[in-house]
Each structure stands twice: as C-alpha cells, then as structure tokens.
Amino acid sequence: MARERRKWIILLSILPLTIYTIIVIIPLLSSFFYSFTNWNGFNPEYKFVGFSNYLKVFQDRYFELAIKNTLIWMVAAFVLPVVTGLAIALVLHERIRFANFYKSLFFLPICLSLAVIGQVWIWIYQPDWGLINTVLRSVGLEQLAIAWLANKNTALYSVIVAWSWQQVGLAMVIFLAGLTSIPEELTEAAQIDGASYWQSLRYVIIPLLSPATTVVIALSIINSLKSFDVVYMMTGGGPFHSSDTLAMFMFNESFKKYFMGYGSAIAVVLFLIAMVIIAFYFRQVRQLEQLYD
C-alpha cells in the first residue's frame, strides 16, 4: 500500500516538478552564476569577473534612481489603487443603485493588456491633442499643459496613474469579497449602539477586513516590484532614466545594451529585495494574525 502510494506520488508529480525546476528554478540559480561574468549575450565565451558587476551596481546612479522610483511606485500603489479600491468597495457595498454596472465598469480594465492600456494613455497624455491637455487648454490652464511623458518630473507619475487605472478594479473586487463576508449583524449592532458610520468603519469594518487588506497590500507590493509592462509600453524608462523601475532598468541593461552579466547582477539584487520584503511582510502578517486570534 505504502509502495503503491509512493509510486503514484512520483508518477503524478514528476512532470510538473521537472518542468518547473528546469524553466523556473534552474534559470533563477543560473542568474546568480551569470552575475559573476561579463557575458554579452552572443559571444559563447565569457570571463569571470568576481564581484565587479555588484560593485558597479552599487556605484551606478541610475540603479539608485531605479530603486528610488520602485519605492515611489510602491507607495503610490498603496495610495492610489488600494485606498481608491477600498473607498469604491465601501460605497458599492451599501446597496447603491446600479452597483453592478459600476462594479463591471471599474473592473473591466483588468482583462485588458497593459500594451493596450499603455497605448490609450499615451493618447491621453499626448502634448498637442491629448485629452488632458485639451481639457486644460479649454479651461484656460494653458501653462499646465505639458508633455507629461517626455518631462522627467512627470513621466514616472504619469505612468503610475495609467497603471493604477487598471489596478483599482482588482483591489475593489477583493475588498468587496471581504465586505460580503462580514456578518451584517455586527455592523447593525454597532449602529444600534449609536456608532456613527466612521466609527463603525474604524472599529468594526476595517479590522474585520484585514484578511482582504493583507491580500491587496501583498499584491500591490509584489506588482510594484514586477512593474515593467506599462513602463516599457509608455516611456521605456525615459526620459533620462526618470521613469526607470528596477525591472525596466534590468531589461534595458540586458536586452538593449546586452550587458547580460551586469543585467544578471541587477536581477539578483531585485530578487533579494523581493525576498526580503515578502518575508518581512509575511512575518508581520503572521504576528498580526496571532494577535487577533
């Protein structure tokens, strides 16, 4: 019986585990390997260069900028999609008219590719006839009508707004799922006890929503570290690296400039940052859960 069971465990898991290991795990480990070389992507020969790629990473001011931008992205990803998503979910949860229409509308962008979304938002930001500048000019705010994506002070934020436009719906549906799981008796009881809406929100709803909040925040952190598609589509990291995120920077160094060794070093640093943040976050979550239990 035990032998039969072992046979089936191996038979059923061998294929998925093999493919996963070959395509995901081994390349992950070989990124570490390439990060100690000067491989250029074409030449079959390469030299070991020790830690020099890593030394270069930490002296590269564009790397520093990419880290800063990724952090800005993380904060913005919390403020825009998470807070807006929560607000919309709270409003739609109160049996509002046409709630399903709003829900579908805000959720729809999730099924669109960031290639499509990026393109539309390029048209919105376009300096001459773009939507934003047309509106600004028509209300007499001529001086505010700038080239949003080509200005190094606004490029990053403009991209983040386009990305958030897509992400709001995701946060919204997760919060809505969380809200429907809160028993109505609890919020009603708070009302009977004379709690104002803000008080029941603060003391009843928000604490009971914490599982959903955990998911949404974890998601926005992970997605911030992965932020690439929309940047690639809209600015490619420019102008002058001003909208570079870590993933975008790594991509440009590896596949535009063909510094594969250097790109691998950036990838390893990105991986380590992701692991530290995720480990730290899940530790916090576990402590919180223990506190509530």
Residue 55 C-beta: closest distance to other proteins, Å: 20
Interatomic CA distance for residues 109 and 100, integer angstroms: 15
Which two tokens mark 267?
A: 């990838």
Name 114's Cβ contacts closer than 8 Å, sequence gap at least 6. Answer: 163, 166, 229, 230, 233
Instruction: Give 27 or 207: the residue with its C-beta nearer to other proteins.
Output: 27
* Cα 56 to Cα 42: distance, rounded to the nearest angstrom: 22
Under 8 Å between Cβ of 127 and 146: yes
Shorter beta-carbon distance to other proteins: residue 103 or 154: 103
CA 207 from chain center: how many Å? 24
Residue bearing tokens 């047309």: 134
HSE-CB for 11 with a 13 A CA cutoff: 6
Least CB distance to other proteins at residue 290 (A): 19
In the complex, the smallest distance separating the C-beta of residue 156 from other proteins, rounded to whole angstroms, is: 18
Q: Which is nearer to other proteins, 160 or 270 (CB)?
A: 270
**Shortest reach from residue 98's CB to other proteins, in Å:** 9
Least Cβ distance, residue 199 to other proteins (angstroms): 5
For other proteins, the closer of residues 65 and 121 by Cβ is: 121
What's the angle, vertex CA 246, arms to CA 240 and CA 248, rounded to 5? 60
Give the up-direction half-sphere exposure of residue 127: CA atoms within 13 A in the CB hemisphere.
9
For other proteins, give the closer residue by CB, 23 or 144.
23
Neighbours of 108 (CB within 10 A): 11
For 278, half-sphere exposure in the C-beta direction (CA atoms, 13 angstrom radius) is 14
Q: By C-beta, is 86 or 250 nearer to other proteins?
A: 250
DSSP symbol at 257: S
* Beta carbon of residue 48, minimum distance to other proteins (angstroms, whole number): 16
